[in-house]
Amino acid sequence: MSKLIACYRGNVNAWECDQMGHMNVQFYMSRGAEAFGHLQNALGLSPARIREEKKGLRFKSLRIQFKAEVHAGSALHGLCGVREVVGDTLHGFIHLFDTAFDRLSAVFEFTAAYTDFVSDETLPLPADLRDTAETLSDEHPESYRPAPFSGTLMPSTALDHMFESSRASVNTWECDQFNHIEMRHVVGYFSDAATHIIGAVGLTRGEIRRRNLGSAALDYYTEFHAPIKMSAPIVLKSGLISAERKIFRFGHNLVDLDSGNIAVTTTVVGCYFDMSLRKSVALPDEFTNYPKEKWLSNQF
Amino acid sequence: MSGYAETYRGQVLASECNFLGHMNIQFYAARVSHAIWSMSYMIGIPAEDIKGGKKALVSVRQEIDFLGELMAGDILHMETGILKTTNKTLTLHNKLINSATGETVMTNEMTAAYMDVSLRKAVPLTSEMRANIENFMITQEAAT
């Protein structure tokens, strides 16, 4: 008997698609976050219990692999499951499908910990939650599981040659009921950074358009070090890790300026594609000509 | 005749809740929009017609009963069945359900026309659509 859990069904709105003509990464994340609510409920953490106890699961790490574009009007559905419980950490996944073509569009592989949403302390898994999670645990050999993330991960430290790629304060409408920023908006900051990144290597949006190019994220690996709360002033620092042939790698540190702490660290793997053919192409010369001595990978 | 199918599943965001502490009515309508879209695929409108903006089900009449509150964080899903059809329309019955409690929090009866977007006019349902619609037909009794 399958231990997969139905966790999302809906469609892609036109206003969720970006200048590349496909659903923006932050809206994949919004589906993933909603799906996570259904997974928690299946584990015994109903929305009412979470509201009452002000405790629930929070991502510690999150890998998002983008497998196929979806566009305005695409129908989506999601399935999720628990892989295993290791100590007090739950390992699980969410798969988002392009329903009409029964095609996997995005994969979320995550670790999560039981957390007090008021104090932000990580807590041991409650016995009932552990029991249910262990009952639901399965390797799910029938389901896709990505290979380990390729290459070195961005460290959660400030590095030379990182530049500011986004700056904001966290608004109320970006937060959940516990006044923490919702995951969609974290990814939204990474998305906003993309334009500043192309500027940092010497390109402009106009030039990208002239060449009929688009950029796409292929793989994200994110580690969450601290929560980001309502009204927090934040800055995103980014840098090029490497750029070779068709693949660029960027590192992001999202900094909470109130504390000075790095709250989120992300490694992004991406590519450029021909907007007409929707096929990947060699990186623009500006990327491959970017001085290698500035690559963050030199400091890892 | 087999009945309702799932047409939406998601969660209530804090940003969708108003000063009364519950989800604002405009966001119920957003879920109904997802449901119509899902049903468009289920009855066989081709994906290229939907995504290409060529053909669509468009709402021409709705009647909504709000039966229960939804709070930030609540998980929900929609079940949709088809009550009746005419030459160019179908009448859907949507039930929005709190997935954690099983409570039906909204019902919505909607008449939707099959629209040729290039003509901006309702056109007859195709025979293929009619065959698929049979899979989702429900009785008025089932909808009450």
Q: Which two tokens stand for residue B115?
A: 């629209």
Q: What DSSP character marks residue A119? A: T
pLDDT computed for residue A171 by the predictor: 95
Report yes or no: B40 and B50 within 8 Å, Cβ to Cβ.
yes
Kindly report, residue by residue over A117-166, the tens digit of the pLDDT. Answer: 999 999 999 999 999 999 999 999 999 999 999 888 999 999 999 999 99
- Residues of chain A contacting residue B9, judged by C-beta atoms under 8 Å apart: 6-10, 34, 38, 77-78
pLDDT computed for residue B144 by the predictor: 84
Instruction: Report helix, strand or coil for A158.
Output: coil
- Into how many domains does chain A fold? 2
Q: Are residues A97 and A181 in the same domain?
A: no
The nearest CA of chain A is from the CA of B39 a distance in Å of 10
Q: Does B21 touch chain A (CB under 8 A)?
A: no
Domain end position, chosen among A111, A146, A181: A146
pLDDT computed for residue B127 by the predictor: 97
CB burial of residue A116 (10 Å; 0-12, 13-18, 19+): middle
- d(C-alpha A17, C-alpha A25), whole Å: 9
* Residue tagged 């629209």 (tokens): B115
pLDDT computed for residue B72 by the predictor: 97
**Domain-wise residue ranges, chain B:** 5-136
The nearest CA of chain A is from the CA of B84 a distance in Å of 24
Q: Are residues A128 and A197 in the same domain?
A: no
Give yes or no for residue B2 having a pLDDT over 80: no
Domain that residue A230 falls in: 152-300
Residues 6+ positions from A210 with CB-CB distance below 8 Å = none
Q: Which chain B residue is nearest to residue A71, measuring alpha carbons?
A: B51
Main-chain dihedrals φ then ψ at residue A149, nearest 5 degrees: -55, 130
Kindly report, residue by residue over B50-96, the tens digit of the pLDDT. Answer: 999 999 999 999 999 999 999 999 999 999 999 999 999 999 999 99
Q: Are residues A113 and A177 in the same domain?
A: no
Give yes or no for residue B1 having a pLDDT over 70: no
Q: Classify domain B5-136 at the CATH class level.
A: alpha beta
- d(C-alpha A69, C-alpha A216), whole Å: 9
Q: What percent of chain B has pLDDT over 90?
A: 96
pLDDT tens, N- to C-terminus, chain A (300 residues): 789 999 999 999 999 999 999 999 999 999 999 999 999 999 999 999 999 999 999 999 999 999 999 999 999 999 999 999 999 999 999 999 999 999 999 999 999 999 999 999 999 999 999 999 999 999 999 999 999 998 889 999 999 999 999 999 999 999 999 999 999 999 999 999 988 988 999 999 899 999 999 999 999 999 999 999 999 999 999 999 999 999 999 999 999 999 999 999 999 999 999 999 999 999 999 999 999 999 999 999
Kindly report, residue by residue over A10-32, the tens digit of the pLDDT. Answer: 999 999 999 999 999 999 999 99
Q: Are residues A168 and A274 in the same domain?
A: yes
Q: Are residues A289 and A216 in the same domain?
A: yes
Half-sphere exposure of residue A84, counting CA atoms within 13 Å on the CB side? 4
Sign, CA dihedral B132-A94-A148-A85, equals negative
pLDDT computed for residue A229 by the predictor: 96
Kindly report, residue by residue over B90-127, the tens digit of the pLDDT. Answer: 999 999 999 999 999 999 999 999 999 999 999 999 99
pLDDT computed for residue B88 by the predictor: 98
Q: Does B117 touch chain A (CB under 8 A)?
A: no
- d(C-alpha A72, C-alpha A145), whole Å: 27
CATH code: domain of residue A23 = 3.10.129.10
Rounded to a whole number, what is the distance in angstroms from the first to the last CA of chain B?
17
Domain end position, chosen among A146, A167, A185: A146
Kindly report, residue by residue over B4-28, the tens digit of the pLDDT. Answer: 999 999 999 999 999 999 999 999 9
| ipTM of predicted complex | 0.93
Q: Are residues A245 and A272 in the same domain?
A: yes
Which of A7, A8, A9 has the most B C-beta neighbours within 10 Å, making it the best mutation to test the interface with B? Answer: A9
Q: Are residues A159 and A299 in the same domain?
A: yes
Q: Does B6 touch chain A (CB under 8 A)?
A: yes
Q: Which chain B residue is nearest to residue A177, measuring alpha carbons?
A: B14
Residues 6+ positions from A178 with CB-CB distance below 8 Å = A54, A117, A118
Q: Are residues A268 and A136 in the same domain?
A: no
Q: Are residues A192 and A224 in the same domain?
A: yes
Domain end position, chosen among A83, A117, A146: A146
Q: Are residues A226 and A104 in the same domain?
A: no
Q: Which two tokens stand for residue A59?
A: 């991502």
Of B9, B50, B74, the CB nearest to A6: B9
Q: Are residues A142 and A159 in the same domain?
A: no
Q: What DSSP character marks residue B141? A: T
Q: Are residues A61 and A176 in the same domain?
A: no
